[in-house]
Structure formats: structure tokens, C-alpha cells
Structure 1
């Protein structure tokens, strides 16, 4: 049920929820990025306002013999904590296994992958800040699935064509580089 809801929002089948996500993301981005507001001040002010409202609601309810504000049970269930810890445990072990491959097993390929990933992340981070990157991600997640759903056949054709062209170019470049590298024959290796 939850996945269908997310898919419906991303494909604009529940347009009111999609518009709500888009308007909320845009408002928060404008508030934080353009107005110069920061996250800590925003969270503190929202919580301050919530506590003040609840306090005055409870005081006025006791004075006017009205019902108290309805508050849910404010506890985190143990199952959710265990599930979150399990997920964190899996990712932490995966990161440690990568570190082990780099440091102890001296796997140069994994080292290059990690270094190139960090370089790409650093380059993207230098182009825009984290909040703008998250906002771009929200915009893309609300537009790309919709466009792909409407034009799936055309997009798949173009991607297959681009894939073939890239493979041909890769073969040409690969062959050109291999021609420039002198390869010694097996007879020369045996005599030396």
C-alpha cells in the first residue's frame, strides 16, 4: 500500500499530494536558500510555536472546562528502533568491508572507485549546496517518472540507440589505444 502511494504521488495520480510535495519543497528551498533562514532556527521556531500553542490550549481548556488537546502516544516502538538499527548495521558493515578491501587487501580497483566517487561528490558539492541538490532531486523525482510513463516507448528507443553509439565509440577508442601500446610476443619473454 505504501509503495503504491509513493508511485501515485510521483506519477501525479494523486495530484493534490504531488502539488503539496512540490509546493512544500519549493517553499522550504526559498525559505532556506533565498531568505537566508537556517535549519536550526526553523526547527527551533516551529517547536517553540508548537509548545506555546499546546501550553495555552491546555491552560484555556482547564479554565473553560473544555477537552485537553489530543496528543498521541509519544513513544517510538521498539520494533522501529530494531529495524533502523538493523539497516544501519548492514550499511556500516558494508562500508567497513570496503575499507578492509582497500587497506588490508590493497584492492586498487575498489580504491579507484571510492576515490572517483568522492571526487564526483566533491565536484557536485562545489556546484551547489546540499539543500539545492535535494531540491533538484525532488523536482527530478516529480518530473522524470511522469515523462517516462508518458513517453516510455520513445525514450527506450533513444536510449538503445545511444547505447549502441556509445559502444561503437568505446570500441574505436579501445582499439586505438591498444594499437599504441607495444605488446611483446611470448618468444621474447622466454628468451629474456
Structure 2
């Protein structure tokens, strides 16, 4: 049998085995292996040692993502949903929305000034609209800090030699790339925003079960990977002997 066909069959069986095993672990709440792993000492996802709130920065943004204040978190997620609906379903564009907002602002000021001139003897003086410079500086610093922290995290994963963490990050990036090929950039940003406001709070609530499940899943993946490598090595050695 050709080597490519052997690899394809083994990969298919490996993936189906992992999916079946993962589904059984998730749907079965009485799995002895999962219960023992939860009761015992389990490895934290990404080697986590600190609480999820601390990993997310420990500030107001972490409070929003972990739903410490449900009103604020719900408002942020609802606003993002409205913006996504405007762009995706109503086919608005960013320049269109900006222009409409400026027109509405100018119209409001125009009516206010003209009404004040007719019904008031003293001239009205509107406050000047200006965004402080430090706002832009803080945004740039925060954005740059998050980008650098993300790059440092990816580099640490690549250089740590931890196969489980490496495979998890690569798999996440691959899934993101696949989703990006299905959707436009706005939808991908929205999906990431929704995930950022749902996955951390779910992980914080069910961290032990998720950590244990991922540990078992990676063990299954690593076992199948070694089986695939051993069978391919045996096939190569058999082919060389036949030559």
C-alpha cells in the first residue's frame, strides 16, 4: 500500500478516535478517568498558574470579560452586536456611519444655536468639542502593550518545548484561519469579541473539568501521533528491505 494512503488512513482514524473520545468525555458525566483526573492534580491550560482574572490583566477590561458587572458586560456585548448588525446585515460602511454621526451632531448644534438666538437675548456659547491628547496616547500604549504581550506569549510557546501547548496554539490559529476564510474581517472581529466575553467566564467557572478534558484529549492526540510515526517508520524500513 502506498505511504500516502497509509498516512491518510491513519490520520483519519486518529481524528475520528479523538473526536469520539472527546464527545464521550463531554457527554458522559460519570467517566471514571475524567473524575479521577478532576479529583487529582491536573495540568492547567497553557500552564496557567494565576487566576483567570489576573491573566486577563486584572483591570476593568478583565472585569468586563468575566462579567463581574453584568449590566456593563451586557451593554458592551449588546453594543458590539448592534455595530456588527449595522455593518453585516444592513450593509453600512464605516465612512457612512461616521458621516451620518457628524451630520447629526452638526444638525443638533445648528438647531440649538438658532433656537437660542430666537428665544434668548444673550448669545449662546457652545463648548468646543475636543478629545484630549492623552486619550490617544493611552490607546496607543494599551494597544502596543497588548500586541507585544501577545507576540511574547507566542514566542514563549514556540520556544518552550511543550508539545501540548504548542499544538493547542497552532490548532487555535488554524481554526481562526479557517473561520477567516468563511467570513469577512468584521465578522471575524465580532466572533473574537463574543468569544472574549464568553469563553473566559465559562473557563473560570468550569476550569477543573475543562483542564482535565484537555489533558485527556492531548494524551490521546500524542498517543495517536506516536502510533502514526511508528507505523510510518516501519513502512519505510519495510520498503527499504524490499528494495
Q: TM-score, normalised by structure 1?
A: 0.65
* Aligned with 1:129 (options 166, 169, 184): 184
* Aligned with 2:125 (options 24, 49, 68): 68
Q: Which ranges of structure 1 fall in alignment gaps of 5 or more residues?
A: 95-116, 184-192
**Who is 1:31 aligned against?**
86
- Over the residues paired in the alignment, what is the CA RMSD in angstroms? 3.4
- Tell me: CA distance 1:73–1:39, structure 2 relative to 1, closer, same or farther (3 Å): closer
Query: Are the aligned partners of 1:11 and 1:146 in contact in 2 as well (CA < 8 Å)?
Result: yes
The whole-number CA distance in structure 2 between the counterparts of 1:66 and 1:158 is 70
The whole-number CA distance in structure 2 between the counterparts of 1:79 and 1:49 is 24
- Deviation, 1:10, is 0.8
Deviations 1:85-123 (A, max 9, x none): x949x98xx9xxxxxxxxxxxxxxxxxxxxxx79x73x4
The whole-number CA distance in structure 2 between the counterparts of 1:67 and 1:180 is 88
Q: Which ranges of structure 2 fall in alignment gaps of 5 or more residues?
A: 1-56, 152-172, 239-243
Structure 1 runs of 4+ aligned residues shifted over 6 Å read none
Q: Does 1:40 align with 2:105?
A: no
The whole-number CA distance in structure 1 between the counterparts of 2:219 and 2:210 is 14
Query: Are the aligned partners of 1:32 and 1:38 in contact in 2 as well (CA < 8 Å)?
Result: yes
**Who is 2:60 aligned against?**
5
